[in-house]
């Protein structure tokens, strides 16, 4: 569509093979990891610094060419689809760790640095970055989607762990959204405006993050329950009791079976909670004792421990591979992940609803979630060519979202809106809320070049 544009001719001449119109590369940059259809951009540019991003945006803005930021490509809600063509701006070569300040417990990295890269770099300094969505996503992408994950119950999401951003605006200007200070009362909170904006307001090129000390002691445990609702109720009780657990993850019995088969584990079958405890040696012992007492009231038994770093890493690697474990149970399938988040008091009823819907549909699926903060998923393995099956799963997804919003929750706890959940934005925010979002989008990106077709439904 834009092959004859002056912008593409300039970018091609300036960046050589870092600017590509290869059909295969374009297709790779037009989709994520789930069932959403691929919509390929017209070209891909591999940028290597903020200045190159700014130049590409200026050139595209002059001709109203859409620009879609691309990180690790792990999105789940159609964020990367180039619905109106344009340029995919791949930031994966921007992998410099620019600064680490152990005294201030913070660092600044380029957007293409992944969370695993950062934690490997930090390990010898006794520090780590806790936000862990499972996938080895880029930190720019994690900021753009307001990612969270398994550690959020203790350490928070990207919203709490991003101190400042460097952002390229739609006219090519470059801004810093905040200082490194831990608090400020100066002006609008620009950092929070861009965290979670999914590339629709600007291109994040650098991220300043909070860091944490590696805990003195850590232990992980799995615990079986008589049924899924009992496991959810046990997790609620642990949170309400105030135990400062680092992680508590729900794994439905079907997921345990899928995971054992895919990851070569020997977890005991049944509906399961996976806990991790951080702190001093005595603190971890106290947390473990308290949790054991609490879960026993809900039928929790058969604690199995992983205390060495290797054992814990293997356990959490298997949990993170749950998406692929479900897909492996059905050859040729694509994934579809629901993502509601509800107030913790509504968790058990919401999980029960999901269980009943999945069982009624007879789908290849499993329930899992970061239940410590009320967020859980149903992971479906679907035939992307079966329209009837897709309609059934879409109906389940819709019913879960309607339920979540009705009880004070949200359509997405961590995956974002993208194009996949646009239809629920009006239900969640109302007309006035959407009007304000559109006003912000128009003010910051008046030509609408950044990631069009995402987050905001048609007026």
pLDDT per residue as tens digits for the range 46-73: 999 999 999 999 999 999 999 999 999 9
Q: Is 132 left (phi over 0), alpha (psi -120 to 50) or beta?
A: beta
State the Cα–Cα distance between residues 380 and 391, nearest whole angstrom.
Answer: 13
Structure tokens at 211: 């860091």
In this prediction, residue 305 carries a pLDDT of 86
The closest alpha carbon to 205, from 346, 369, 69, 345, belongs to 69
Residue range 146-169, pLDDT digits in tens: 999 899 999 999 999 999 999 999
Banded pLDDT at 347 (limits 50, 70, 90): very high
Q: What is the mean pLDDT of residues 414-419?
A: 96
pTM of this structure? 0.95
pLDDT above 70 as % of the chain: 100
458, burial (CB in 10 Å: exposed 0-12, middle 13-18, buried 19+): exposed
Contact (Cβ atoms closer than 8 angstroms) between residue 143 and residue 204: yes
In this prediction, residue 20 carries a pLDDT of 97
DSSP state of 95: -
């Amino acid at each position: 569509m834009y092959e004859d544009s002056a912008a593409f001719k300039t970018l091609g001449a300036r960046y050589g093979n870092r600017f590509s119109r290869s059909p295969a590369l374009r297709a790779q940059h037009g989709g994520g990891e789930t069932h959403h259809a691929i919509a390929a951009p017209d070209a891909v540019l591999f940028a290597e610094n903020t200045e190159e991003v700014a130049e590409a945006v200026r050139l595209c803005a002059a001709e109203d060419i859409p620009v879609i930021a691309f990180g690790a490509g792990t999105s789940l809600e159609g964020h990367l689809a180039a619905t109106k063509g344009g340029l995919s701006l791949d930031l994966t070569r921007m992998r410099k760790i620019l600064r680490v300040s152990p005294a201030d417990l913070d660092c600044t990295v380029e957007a293409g640095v992944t969370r695993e890269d950062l934690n490997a770099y930090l390990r010898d300094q006794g520090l780590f970055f806790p936000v862990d969505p499972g996938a080895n996503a880029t930190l720019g992408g994690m900021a753009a989607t307001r990612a969270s994950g398994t550690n959020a119950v203790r350490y928070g999401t990207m919203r709490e762990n991003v101190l400042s951003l460097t952002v390229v605006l739609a006219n090519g200007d470059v801004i810093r959204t905040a200082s490194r200070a831990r608090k400020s009362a100066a002006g609008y909170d620009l950092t929070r405006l861009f965290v979670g904006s999914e590339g629709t307001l600007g291109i994040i090129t650098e991220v300043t993050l909070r860091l944490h000390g590696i805990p003195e002691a850590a232990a992980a445990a799995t615990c079986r329950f008589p049924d899924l609702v009992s496991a959810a109720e046990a997790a609620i009780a642990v949170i309400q009791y105030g135990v400062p657990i680092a992680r508590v993850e729900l794994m439905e019995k079907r997921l345990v079976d899928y995971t054992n088969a895919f990851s070569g584990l020997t977890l005991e079958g049944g509906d399961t909670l996976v806990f991790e405890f951080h702190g001093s040696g005595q603190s971890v012992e106290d947390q473990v004792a308290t949790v054991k007492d609490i879960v026993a009231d809900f039928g929790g038994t058969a604690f199995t421990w992983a205390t060495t770093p290797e054992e814990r890493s293997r356990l959490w690697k298997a949990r993170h591979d749950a998406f692929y474990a479900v897909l492996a149970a059905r050859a040729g399938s694509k994934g579809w992940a629901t993502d509601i988040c509800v107030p913790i008091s509504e968790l058990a009823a919401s999980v029960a609803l999901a269980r009943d819907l999945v069982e009624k549909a007879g789908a290849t699926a499993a329930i899992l979630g970061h239940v410590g903060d009320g967020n859980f998923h149903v992971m479906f393995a679907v035939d992307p060519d079966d329209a009837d099956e897709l309609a059934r799963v879409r109906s389940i997804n819709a019913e879960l979202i309607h339920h979540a919003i009705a009880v004070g929750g949200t359509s997405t706890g961590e995956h974002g809106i993208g194009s996949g959940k646009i239809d629920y934005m009006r239900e969640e925010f109302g007309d006035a809320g959407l009007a304000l979002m559109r006003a912000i989008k128009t003010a910051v990106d008046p030509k609408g070049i950044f990631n069009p077709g995402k987050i905001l439904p048609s007026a």
